[in-house]
Amino acid sequence: MRATIMYGPGDVRVESVPDPRLVEPTDAIIRVTHASICGSDLWPYRGLDDRPFGPNGIPMGHEAIGVVEAVGPEVRTVKPGDTVLMPFAYSDGTCVFCHEGLPTACVHVGFFGSPEVGGAQAEAIRTPFADGTLFPLRAEVDETLMPSLLTLTDVMATGHHAAVTAKVGPGKTAAVVGDGAVGLCGVVAAKRLGAERIILLGGHPDRIALAKEFGATDIVSDRGEAAVERVRELTGGYGAHSVLECVGTEEAMRTAILIARPGGAVGRVGVPHYEAIPASDPAFYGNLTIGGGPAPARAYFAELLPDVLEGRIQPGRVFDLTLPLDRAAEGYRAMDERRAIKVLVKP
Amino acid sequence: MRATIMYGPGDVRVESVPDPRLVEPTDAIIRVTHASICGSDLWPYRGLDDRPFGPNGIPMGHEAIGVVEAVGPEVRTVKPGDTVLMPFAYSDGTCVFCHEGLPTACVHVGFFGSPEVGGAQAEAIRTPFADGTLFPLRAEVDETLMPSLLTLTDVMATGHHAAVTAKVGPGKTAAVVGDGAVGLCGVVAAKRLGAERIILLGGHPDRIALAKEFGATDIVSDRGEAAVERVRELTGGYGAHSVLECVGTEEAMRTAILIARPGGAVGRVGVPHYEAIPASDPAFYGNLTIGGGPAPARAYFAELLPDVLEGRIQPGRVFDLTLPLDRAAEGYRAMDERRAIKVLVKP
């Protein structure tokens, strides 16, 4: 089959690789119909990750919708022919953390887009713990909904997680740090959870336009101290109740803490490419709550799916470029150069 | 009047100073009947604080029960003769943060034990914003309850805040880092909020004995990696749902994060004498929530007071030494040398 492999910074190739096959009795093989390139794929693409590429490169992609092609003998809840959502992490569905709604802390957790299980930017992928991981769509789904459904496998679930851990609620002011696909989904999530005011910190005109359509009420395009000042001005000097940190850089996290109102919460979902969080002021003296982490996407499907199926949210609008699998490398370039917000890849 | 002044590390003197007087129309003067020495007073005593002593030293003490002696013309809720609790911070009682239950973020917040307002280890103290700050006791209170009531002005409120921000609840496992007075009050608070299991990390035999009486079910006297290992063993390998960080050192905070269960919460109330919180693993990958800060003691009085008055909790047992004001310096030495858990000072 064809699959996307990254061999080093800026070096993405779509190549012929062996077809995936069932290894464990709990595995499923799915034929990928929709995959995407994630902002987090840009970290290694830009040479900003510690992860070694190795001589065989890294199979890329961790977000997919597909059709089940084969299942191991112990798989019970999906069967060949089912259309399924595949979240970015696999999980057994039976451990204490899965039961507590935190499958990204599953005792068997693993992440797609790795040499062990392969990547989703490919014609097919092996899914460990298929029962715990895959979420079958029970009805025929219109193709136009597929982009929004695909976001549930990562970016929309992640934006939602940022909003939940930032304690967004009715009447509150939310600030979203970052205008990437996750930040934009954070706007969707904040709106959905009732935020009265949603301040997006971002500078890219196309993304700002989409953020406004998603429900952002204010835009702050300054950076650093100026951004902090501007958010303070917009919030009567106090800051935002809920801050969604959707970038993962030291500057973004620092900004997130500085624009939070005393007693407020920061939900951080950008994979941290920084060592530490400033401990003292304002995090401690402002009684801030700092939460977040890898979104338990699988656990959020049931809550978010109806809103997508019934058209109340359209996070799939973050996809502004669709490419066939063989042109995946173009997608990386477009996202790296910020010509595209998010790229949908169709095998 | 007599008051306790710290002139430098290890240099505490009780001296004659001018009587406090009403400055603002919202002030009250209270005659202190019960004050205490706080673990946080040991930071400057040990030379571990950045705060300059200045030529006139720092008036010490921020926890008091007293009798109102005089009030300014705008004070409405307390009157001369009232016995009042004075929390460690003053607050106006009217701003948005006071209304939200976070008086330690009051727009007029200030802390006792400073040259501006004086200290509570004294015969009398000026209390700014008396209506917002002081809490009058409505009935005659038995002297035997006074130590426990006094803890509400700081350590018990702070232990409670650690438990609340660590999300202690029925059936959960709580771990308390630190066997000082705040840690011990954290045990009281965790028990009160329904924790099924309470692990105290501490090594001092007297404190361990009291912690057990307060409800600690397990004691871990190891430190560093060994302590982390031991808590993991006690919790099926997962860690504690709720971790109360009651020390404020880098090692304590690091331990707190490492013993938290994925999806768990750390409530930190030890004044941070560390620069930063490790950002990545396990804080991010374990989806930990990190909260806490200066306890909104004034806002907790109403909730905690009935439990003290009706004898359900006895946090006053942390006082194991009572001294007259003129011997306050002895109290500092006893706490510094860990011969006393907490010292009650009677002017």
| Chain B residues with CB-CB distance to A106 below 8 A | none
Q: B263 in contact with A at a CB cutoff of 8 Å?
A: yes
- CATH second-level architecture of B157-292? 3-Layer(aba) Sandwich (3.40)
| Chain A residues with CB-CB distance to B283 below 8 A | 277, 293
Token digits for A92?
Answer: 């057994």
| Chain B residues with CB-CB distance to A279 below 8 A | 253, 272, 274-277
What is the model's pLDDT at position A50?
Answer: 82
Question: How many whole angstroms separate alpha carbon A199 and alpha carbon A180?
Answer: 14
**pLDDT at residue B140 is higher than 90:** no
Tell me the pLDDT tens digit for each residue of A225-270.
Answer: 999 999 999 999 999 999 999 999 999 999 999 999 999 999 999 9
Contact (CB<8Å) B238/A96: yes
**pLDDT at residue B306 is higher than 90:** yes
Q: What is the mean pLDDT of residues A8-27?
A: 97
Which of A100, A279, A286 is opposite residue B105, by nearest beta carbon? A286
Q: What is the mean pLDDT of residues B326-347?
A: 97
Residue A16 CB: number of other CB atoms within 10 A? Answer: 9
Contact (CB<8Å) B262/A105: yes
Tell me the pLDDT tens digit for each residue of B35-80.
Answer: 999 999 999 999 998 889 989 999 999 999 999 999 999 999 999 9
Domain boundaries, chain B: 2-154+296-346, 157-292
Q: A97 in contact with B at a CB cutoff of 8 Å?
A: yes
Q: Which residue pairs, CB below 8 angstroms and at least 24 apart, start in B40-45?
A: B40/B271, B41/B6, B41/B113, B41/B332, B41/B335, B42/B332, B42/B335, B42/B336, B43/B271, B43/B273, B44/B6, B44/B9, B45/B6, B45/B9, B45/B10, B45/B12, B45/B332, B45/B336
Contact (CB<8Å) B288/A288: no
What is the model's pLDDT at position A138?
Answer: 86
Contact (CB<8Å) B291/A290: yes
Q: Name every residue whose Cβ is closer than 8 Å to that of residue B323 and which is 6 or more positions away in sequence.
A: B330, B331, B343, B344, B345, B346
What is the model's pLDDT at position B146?
Answer: 98
CB A89 within 8 A of CB A298: yes
CA–CA min distance B242, chain A (Å): 14
Cα distance from N-terminal residue to C-terminal residue, chain B: 10
User: Which of B154, B148, B244, B204 lies closest to B340, judged by CA?
Assistant: B204
What is the model's pLDDT at position A51?
Answer: 85
Per-residue pLDDT band at A139 (split at 50, 70, 90): confident
Let me know if domain A155-292 sits in CATH 3.40.228.10.
no
Q: A296 in contact with B at a CB cutoff of 8 Å?
A: yes
What is the model's pLDDT at position B138?
Answer: 86
CB B4 within 8 A of CB B32: no
Token digits for A44?
Answer: 């290694």
Q: What is the mean pLDDT of residues A95-104?
A: 98
Q: What is the mean pLDDT of chain B?
A: 97
| Chain A residues with CB-CB distance to B285 below 8 A | 293-294
Contact (CB<8Å) B293/A287: yes
Question: How many whole angstroms separate alpha carbon B26 and alpha carbon B94?
Answer: 12
Taking a contact as any Cβ pair under 8 Å apart, which residues of chain B between 18 and 47 contact chain A? none
User: Which of B167, B184, B183, B292 lies closest to B240, judged by CA?
Assistant: B167
Q: A239 in contact with B at a CB cutoff of 8 Å?
A: no
Tell me the pLDDT tens digit for each residue of A143-194.
Answer: 999 999 999 999 999 999 999 999 999 999 999 999 999 999 999 999 999 9
Contact (CB<8Å) B294/A275: no
**pLDDT at residue B17 is higher than 90:** yes
Token digits for B242?
Answer: 């709720």
- CATH number for the domain running over B2-154+296-346: 3.90.180.10
How far CA B290 is from CA of A266, B232, B245, B267, in Å, comes to 10, 19, 10, 6
**pLDDT at residue B182 is higher than 90:** yes
Q: A203 in contact with B at a CB cutoff of 8 Å?
A: no
A310 burial class (0-12, 13-18, 19+ CB within 10 angstroms)?
exposed
Question: How many whole angstroms separate alpha carbon B337 and alpha carbon B322?
Answer: 16
| Chain A residues with CB-CB distance to B287 below 8 A | 102, 104-105, 165, 291-294, 296
Most confident of A203-207, A329-333, B274-278: A329-333
Tell me the pLDDT tens digit for each residue of A35-72.
Answer: 999 999 999 999 998 889 989 999 999 999 999 999 99
Chain B residue at shortest CA distance from A253: B279
| Chain B residues with CB-CB distance to A287 below 8 A | 102, 104-105, 165, 291-294, 296
Per-residue pLDDT band at A140 (split at 50, 70, 90): confident
**pLDDT at residue B32 is higher than 90:** yes
Q: What is the mean pLDDT of residues B273-299?
A: 96
Q: What is the mean pLDDT of chain A?
A: 97
Percent of chain B past pLDDT 70, that is, above it, reads: 100
CA–CA min distance A105, chain B (Å): 6
What is the model's pLDDT at position B139?
Answer: 81
Query: Phi then psi for B332, rounded to 5 degrees?
Result: -60, -45
Which of B105, B279, B292 is opposite residue A277, by nearest beta carbon? B279
ipTM for the predicted complex: 0.96
What is the model's pLDDT at position B302?
Answer: 95
